[in-house]
Copies of this chain bind each other. A is one copy, B any other.
């Protein structure tokens, strides 16, 4: 049996298992999640040992310290993997939720009922905890899943996966409900992406390169975000102290993530009051500033000139583009032109202005007077997230259990026929 055939067989097995999984009671799914958590904790030593093989290979291959750190499993991280499974067990089961119910004049009772999607393919990089997090979310939402992790975490992913399957064997849920593609070659990913007969949704998690590859090669619907070019607009009606704190947090608290601010827009009427102190503090925190001509006129020293290519850039680093704008409309136009539709904020004390911003900015999350760093399933209260979508179809913004479901219409009749 060659590798390619095995991916197709996996997908067929997952599809078959998904039909059963869709029928499993909430209590049994929760029992499986708790058994999985228990198994991970019981086999900590095994996990650490297998993880060390990845770490050693990574060091040999010259991975950066940051990459090695992302790969590492230790007691604390294994505990938090187990906690995520237990948290997921504690969340409400979305399956069978009646979204709407109405009766037609002819007496037909129509219910719109939430159901699992079927089989979810998840393609991810480096961090091995994604294996158990995603298995937990898919299982709870009644979906079979097929995982394909990065080759740098191959030993760790395989070890985690083997324990999760072992836990499933103690339940009434088919072990085929969860699948791991172990092959490291891209051909197996390409094969998976064409299996639209068996796989219903692909969620890529990782860098923009991976996501573009997946989106371009998949015949299966993909829900994704490429990048987060997030803006904060400081209006002339802003409380400038709040604006200062919000912008500082959005840029500095964790610059390497998709919901961090990349461009700050400031209304010209407050630029002279706001920018000097703001830029001074950002620079003290190590932030490189790239400003428009007016910004550089107001803050004369230590501001590089922003180029056109800075505006659509996702730095994921301590770098900030700054632009002075003439109006709310200019800020909105800039965001809709250069943004990535992820998370954008206005700081203003005008309700009218905030309402205008909310309606006109075409992004998954629009904020007034808060840091864009809150765009996150956990912060939104979804418990866990499978990812963040900047697509407009199916799901937008942080995706939790509900976003792993579809619905069907259930129609109860008494013999009605169409006239």
A residues adjacent to B (C-beta < 8 A): 19, 22-23, 96, 102, 104, 108, 110, 113, 115, 117-118, 200-201, 221, 223, 239, 242, 245-246, 248-250, 253-254, 336, 354, 358-360, 362-371, 373-375, 379-381, 391-394, 396-398, 406-418
Contacts and interface: CB of A to CB of B under 8 A. Distances in A.
Copies in the complex: 2
B110 A380 contact: yes
A200 B362 CA distance: 12
B415 A19 contact: no
* SS of A interface (majority): mixed
A19 B360 CA distance: 7
A246 B415 contact: yes
B117 A392 contact: yes
A60 to B, nearest CB: 36
B373 A418 contact: yes
A63 to B, nearest CB: 28
A379 B104 contact: yes
B406 A371 contact: no
Contacts of A223: 393
A411 B221 contact: no
A104 B409 contact: no
B104 A380 contact: yes
Contacts of A22: 359-360, 362
Nearest to A356: B23
Given A370-B108, A381-B102, A358 B415 contact: no
